[in-house]
Amino acid sequence: MNKVELNRAKQYIRDLTGGSLFITESRVVAETLLSGLSEPEWNRLFMEDNILKKKSPHTAIRYARAVRRRIEPLGEAFINDVIHAPDTYYKQLIMLALMIHTPVLPDFMRHVVAETKRIYRPNLEPDAWETFILDRSRTLPGLNDLSESTLKKSGTSVIRALVEADYLDNNKNRRLQPVYLLPETRAWLKNLNRLDLETIMECTL
């Protein structure tokens, strides 16, 4: 096992095994990040006060940390927009944060979702994720060292994120739906110097 290649693979799919967009959790976590809490106080909110209302404190803090890793590096103004954004804009913001944080998602959208649209197929194939990972493992061999369950959970999260962000109608049919980027989302792509993601985020047009 090559540790360097394994670490590259882990970074490629990072934070997907725990969940997808965290639609109900992201706004709550964002609010705590702007509240000036110390690290112990922040942890206490999720583990003891259970503000995410999860059955397990370990699940709550895992979700909170995953959201934090995605949105905190994007800055206070971005976090503030996450807190106040209306529904469509909110989904596009947290989808953008996930795409920046987890490289496999924009890759999958570029090579699978956009290609499905290009050849005029209305639905993603049931084995789209497995085929994609097999292909990517040729250039990212560390993927072969990840467990089957890790890759499967990651794929489930990718598909669920696409459903939650309205790129697919549901997990069963996986029918492509058009997504129109809002001007505010385009502005963030420019501000974050990630205009490379613009055509990917509109790949279903």
pLDDT in tens, the chain (205 residues): 688 999 999 999 998 988 899 999 999 999 999 998 999 999 999 999 999 999 899 999 999 999 999 999 999 999 999 999 999 999 999 999 999 999 999 999 999 999 999 999 999 999 999 999 999 999 999 999 999 999 999 999 999 999 999 999 999 999 999 999 999 999 999 999 999 999 999 988 7
For the chain, domains (ranges, CATH) are 3-201 (1.10.3540.10)
Query: What pLDDT score does 1 carry?
Result: 60
107 three-class SS: helix
Residues 36, 70, 45, 27, CA torsion sign: positive
The whole-number pLDDT of residue 17 equals: 87
What is the number of H-type helices and E-type strands within the chain? 12, 0
pLDDT tens for 90-99 read: 999 999 999 9
C-alpha distances out from residue 125 to 27, 101, 112, 171, Å? 32, 25, 9, 11
Q: Which residues contact 16 (CB under 8 A, 6 or more apart)?
A: 102, 104, 105, 153, 154, 157, 158
C-alpha distances in angstroms, 149 versus 17, 28, 153?
9, 29, 6
